[in-house]
Structure 1
Amino acid sequence: RKKKTHIKKKKKKKKKKKKKKKKKKKKKKKKKKKKKKKKKKKKKKKKKKKKVAEGGTGEPGTLCAPPRWMSPWMRDDGLTALPGARSCFFFPSRPPVLLGIISALCDPPDLPLEMSEECVLRCVLMLCCALLSANASNWLYLAKLSSVQICKRSVEVMDAVRRGAQLAIDECQFQFRNRRWNCSTLETMPVFGKIVTQGTREAAFVYAISAASVAFAVTRACSSGELEKCGCDHNVHGVSPEGSDNIAYGVAFSQSFVDVRERSKGQSSNRALMNLHNNEAGRKVNLPSCPTCVWSANVTVCPAPCEVKTCWKAMPPFRKVGNVIKEKFDGATEVEQRKAGTTKFKPHTDEDLVYLEPSPDFCDHDPKMPGMFGTVGRQCNRTSKAIDGCELMCCGRGFQTQEVEVVDRCSCKFHWCCYVKCKQCRKMVEMHTCRTSSRDKWMCFPRCWEAGLLEEQKAAAQVSETA
């Protein structure tokens, strides 16, 4: 019995040793495979670099003829041969492969100069899209595709997207013109600065107006015939055969273009969920509830809403969209991520704007927070008790009053046919601007620094008069 048990134990030990050896072999094989993959990747990268340096129209490091569309200041830089291009080029600070592709696409021998220039502009738009996808602070698009892929596939839509971005900035500045934060922008910083990266109600408004503006601009581009992939919507029941605004396409484009960055971060992120909700709330404002009135043969054909069959569906003017989103901003709901069944804040609907954290007071300029310029030097209304009044706008610092000469159009007359002639009238008007505080007198926005100089000049003049 003892011998049998001893033999069994030996067999078990042998089996264990075999299993351990097998595991070690598997681990070694996995490590070898990983090393091989890494080596292959390195080789591929080296090959790509060699292709960029060699090939094309010249030897590595040699100069080649610049394209016809390249401006003189560009030609001063070193031009290096790139593959597949008749006249290829390289800028040290820019990606050489992309520029080589542009040159290859847009500078063939048979292409006229005008078409070559247009091609370059389209390619530059594609490059801008690539930069947007990497650095954009507010938005970007057809849910499963990345923004760069969409830019490549939908170059013609990018001009409409650019117009939409400008619409969003202009509307934001109009709606917030009388508030402490007035959507100020500078060329040296991202649009609206770091305000958009916070979970405040201002960020909620920016995301909503951005999503709405893209949907609006793309829809208008469809209806005007700018885009080949879409046109007017002829499938709406009981409307003019000429077609309605293709709102569905504009909204779908906005969903996939603007939401792609938030979806890539994952649905678990609070900020991503907030931004996606506000994007959708902004897009819903664009949808008309029924066909709107239009003019046909110089006659209004839609006296009663939703009753006359000759109407067509049209988007509301973007100013109305901005007004509605501003109302939603005023009634925005603070939210937090919570477990089901618990609640801390009032419930919200799909059409409400939501935010995660309270807004700063925006009174002082903060150098660490680009986009927060403070209210020093801002105009205010002395008689108003609302947010545009001097008491609230100036944050208790007080205000100064100046007499300013204003030029207005007056005595306008209509002349047949068809122009209006006006005179220029000059008048003196009182202008009230917020004072500087002693703490931020020399660290504020340039315009408030000028306001501070004016105060000092006035004080010096008073001292000289008393002397």
Structure 2
Amino acid sequence: MFSCSVITVLLLFIVSIIVSKNVEGYQPVLQKTVEALFTDKSQVIYPGACKLITPSSRQAKMCKRNPSLPKFLQIARNQAIAACEEAFRYDRWNCSLVFNRKVKRNIFNKIYRETAFVHALLAASMTHAVAKACASGDLTRCSCYGSFGKNSSWKIGGCGDDFKQGKRVTRNFLEFKQAGTDQIGQVLKQDVVVGIDTMGEQMREVCKCHGFSGSCTTKTCWKRLGPFNSAMGLLKKHFHHAVKQKILNYTVKRAITPKLRNKLKVDRTKLVYLHKTPNLCISTKGRVCKDRNNCATLCCGRGYITTKKTIHFRCRCRMANCCAVQCDTCTQEVDIYTCK
């Protein structure tokens, strides 16, 4: 017969395993959607109205109401992945889904710093794609901007990049409100909000004058977002300043109360993650550095191999026959640095 103390220890051990699995393995629709969009870069068409992913009933209804939505989800996915790979090209993590080729640890297995960033990145990209689609008239149910202030004498017209609509569609499609009130849900929602707010900070007012001889009697003004890549600097800054939050010892069904929130000291303007990133040094073998200084970080002290490469580029361009541009082809030998 087991003593009560032994049984108690065994029960606590089993409960701790269940709690750990719940915290690490629980995936709300929000996380599943982000993972599906960031993972699948193929041209696979899924059954249902959303085409890019296997949708929830709520997402399927949104795609049915607006058949153009999948097109802009595709744009959002492509521009997010392209911008991420460009921005992290010379970092130890280069937007790969796997941290370590040998262990094959996926970034979506837990909530790492990189996982938090991808949630913010895709939320920002979706907001941008929908806002731009509103301005072009490719998406319906978009609001046009009114006056920018009570004292404004400008004539406002047209429809700008509709950030509010982009934010609304992104939150609804990711099922933001249904992500949960537990720690995982709160962390994922905060990361999404950081991404959307980053996009909102890129809004700029653009005006066009109207009148005889450029007198600017009236102005037509609207809001405009820059290229998505223009937001990557701020998003990457959020990545580097992300905050690791302590994992609370409770099941995923327990909500975050104001008392627990104060205990966690959550800064609403920062990305939040729960798990430490595994060692990335093994995965940088064979990677190309930007320069020697970059190799010192990227190669993790293992050193690098220098090789020569001949590149061809256009040079000595000039006007010919009034309107044509003619260029010579020049060659140059450059050094390529590759991590050992």
TM score, norm. by length of structure 1: 0.52
CA-based RMSD: 3.3
Q: Which residue number in structure 2 is paired with residue 267 of structure 1? A: 181
- Cα distance between partner residues in 2 of 1:296 and 1:193: 56
Aligned to 2:48: 127
Q: Residue 291 of structure 1 contacts residue 311 of structure 1 at CA under 8 Å; is this kept in 2? A: no
Structure 1 match to 2:140: 228
Question: Partner residue of 2:296?
Answer: 391
Cα gap change, 1:228 to 1:264, in 2 (>3 Å): closer
Whole-Å Cα distance in 1 between the matches of residues 272 and 89 of structure 2?
A: 22
- The aligned counterpart of 2:252 is none
Secondary structure of the corresponding residue to residue 292 of structure 1: strand
Which consecutive residues of structure 2, in runs of 5 or more, have no partner in the other structure? 1-44, 99-103, 249-256
8 Å Cα contact 1:205-1:353 kept in structure 2: yes
Instruction: Give the superposition deviation at 1:194.
Output: 2.0
CA distance in 1, matches of 2:198, 2:165: 15
- Report the CA distance shift for 1:235/1:252 in structure 2 as closer, same or farther (over 3 A): farther
Structure 1 residues 129-184: Cα deviation after superposition (integer angstroms, max 9, x where no partner): 366136xxxxx8xxxx6222222222112111110111110111121111011114
Alignment map for 1:79-94 (pairs within 5 Å): none
One of 289, 293, 296 as aligned partner of 1:380: 289
Letter in 2 for 1:272: G
CA contact (8 A) 1:236 1:244 kept: no
- Residues 418-433 of structure 1: matches in 2 within 5 Å? 420-433=325-338
Please list, as runs of the form range in 1=range in 2, the aligned pairs for 1:188-227 lying within 5 A after superposition.
Answer: 194-227=106-139
Q: Which residue of 1 aligns with 2:269?
A: 351
Paired with 1:418 and 1:206, the residues of 2 have a C-alpha distance of 46
Q: Sort the Cα spacing of 1:310 and 1:235 in 2 relative to 1 into closer, same or farther, 3 A.
A: closer
Does the 8 A contact of 2:246 with 2:274 survive in 1?
Answer: yes
Corresponding letter in the other structure for 1:133: T
Determine if the alignment matches structure 1 residue 242 to structure 2 residue 161. no
Cα distance, 1:352 vs structure 2 = 1.3
What is the deviation of 1:197?
3.5
Q: Which residue of 1 aligns with 2:191?
A: 278
Measured in 2, the distance between the counterparts of 1:213 and 1:279 equals: 11
**Alignment partner, residue 226 of structure 2:** 316
Does the 8 Å CA contact 2:97/2:106 hold for their aligned counterparts? no
Letter paired with 1:251: K
Shift of 1:193: 8.2
Q: Give the secondary-structure state (helix, strand or coil) at the position aligned to 2:188.
A: helix
Mapping 1:178-197, distance limit 5 Å: 178-184=90-96, 194-197=106-109
Give secondary structure in 2 for the equivalent of 1:406. strand
**Pairing 1:6-405 to 2, within 5 Å after superposition:** 127=48, 129=50, 132-133=53-54, 146-184=58-96, 194-230=106-142, 232-234=144-146, 236-237=148-149, 238=152, 240-258=156-174, 260=175, 264=178, 266-268=180-182, 270-288=183-201, 291-296=204-209, 310-336=220-246, 340=259, 347-364=265-282, 374-384=283-293, 389-405=294-310
Partner AA of 2:311 in structure 1: V
Counterparts of 1:150 and 1:342, CA distance in 2: 33
Q: CA separation in 2, counterparts of 1:416 and 1:128?
A: 54
Aligned residues: 273
1:214 is paired with a residue whose SS is helix
Asked if the contact 2:51–2:70 (Cα under 8 Å) also holds between the matched residues in 1, the reply is no
Contact 2:75/2:129 (CA < 8 Å) preserved in 1?
yes
Q: What displacement does 1:400 show? A: 0.8
Q: Following the alignment from structure 1 to structure 2, what is the Cα–Cα distance between the partners of residues 296 and 351? A: 37
> Shift in Å at residue 394 of structure 1?
1.3
Letter of the aligned partner of 1:285 in structure 2? Answer: T
Give the partner amino acid of 1:177: R
Amino-acid identity (%): 29
Mapped to 2, the partners of 1:417 and 1:126 lie a distance apart of: 55
Q: Is the 8 A contact 1:288 1:316 kept in 2?
A: no
Q: Do the aligned residues in 1 keep the contact of 2:203 with 2:225 (CA within 8 Å)?
A: no
Per-residue deviation, 1:234: 4.1
Cα pair distance change 1:256/1:427, threshold 3 Å: same
Change beyond 3 A, Cα 1:175–1:382: closer
The answer to whether the Cα contact below 8 Å between 1:221 and 1:227 also exists between their aligned partners in 2 is yes
For 1:201, give the aligned amino acid.
Answer: R
Q: Deviations over 1:233-260 (max 9, x none)?
A: 34654463223322111110011112x2
TM-score (norm 2): 0.69
Structure 1 residues 235 and 382, CA, compared in 2 at 3 Å: closer, same or farther?
closer
> How far apart in 1 are the matches of 2:195 and 2:289?
30
What is the CA-CA distance between 1:228 and the residue it aligns to? 3.2
* Secondary structure in structure 2 of the residue aligned to 1:129: coil
Describe the SS at the equivalent of 1:250.
Answer: helix
Q: Radius of gyration: which is bigger?
A: 1
Q: 1:424 to 1:324 in 2, by over 3 A?
A: same
Whose strand fraction is larger, Structure 1's or Structure 2's?
A: 2
SS in 2 for 1:177: coil
Q: Tell me the SS of whatever aligns to 1:196.
A: coil
Hey, what's the Cα distance between the residues in 2 that align with 1:416 and 1:154?
Answer: 51
Q: Quote how far apart the aligned CAs of 1:375 are.
A: 1.0
- What CA deviation, in whole Å up to 9, does each residue of 1:271-295 have, x standing for no partner? 3321111111100112248752445
